[in-house]
Amino acid sequence: MQPDHRPLTPDCLEAMLQLEQAAHPVPWSRQLLAGCFSERYFSGSLWRGQTLLGFYIADQVLDESTLMNICVTPPCQGQGLGRQLLARYVESAAARHISQLWLEVRESNQAAQRLYLSAGFVEQGRRKAYYRSAQGREDAVIMQKVL
């Protein structure tokens, strides 16, 4: 059964929080997630029935967007859902007349970097020792895609 794409709404918050905590080593708080329903943000999500499988959250400032969060529930990772979500993000951004997409990813997050590279993002720079990590600090890799 193909998952359904739906926009995120405040009713999704509990499911988002659970997925966020399962998928990310340093998850966003409930408050941070709840802040992403304002005008400045747009989002998408994948569901199977009542189960949230993945979501993305992005912001828009003029003709630029930053992908703030993308995650897939761990039992469903590696099945193409992250790629589907990212493709939806790019489509939604294009429909909003956005011309540049930006994101930041941990240097150690090779799975996400491969996904972004295969979707046409390119590395544009690094923020040195930006993230806390188990080893101390690690770089943020800054990636961009021009639409």
Ligand X SMILES: CC(C)(COP(=O)(O)OP(=O)(O)OC[C@H]1O[C@@H](n2cnc3c(N)ncnc32)[C@H](O)[C@@H]1OP(=O)(O)O)[C@@H](O)C(=O)NCCC(=O)NCCS
Q: Which residues are annotated as a binding site for acetyl-CoA?
A: 109
Q: Does the active-site annotation cover 131?
A: no
Shorter beta-carbon distance to ligand X: residue 13 or 115:
115
Q: Name 145's bridge partners.
A: 101
Judge whether 53 and 1 are in contact, CB under 8 Å.
no
Q: Name 69's bridge partners.
A: 57
Q: Is there binding between residue 142 and ligand X (CB under 6 A)?
A: no
Q: Is there binding between residue 53 and ligand X (CB under 6 A)?
A: no
Judge whether 93 and 125 are in contact, CB under 8 Å.
no
Q: Is there binding between residue 97 and ligand X (CB under 6 A)?
A: no
Q: Is there binding between residue 78 and ligand X (CB under 6 A)?
A: yes
Q: Is there binding between residue 112 and ligand X (CB under 6 A)?
A: yes
Question: Least CB distance from residue 143 to ligand X, whole Å?
Answer: 9
The runs of H, that is alpha helices, within 35-143 are 81-95, 110-118
Active-site position among 20, 89, 107, 116? 116
Q: Name 56's bridge partners.
A: 44, 70
**Contacting ligand X (CB under 6 A), which of 40, 96, 114, 128?**
114
Active-site position among 41, 104, 130, 131? 104
Judge whether 13 and 20 are in contact, CB under 8 Å.
no
Following CA atoms 31, 32, 36, 39 in sequence, which dihedral angle do they give, to the nearest 10 degrees?
A: 80
Q: Is there binding between residue 132 and ligand X (CB under 6 A)?
A: no
Binding site for ligand X (CB under 6 A): 23-24, 70-72, 77-83, 105, 109-112, 114-115, 118
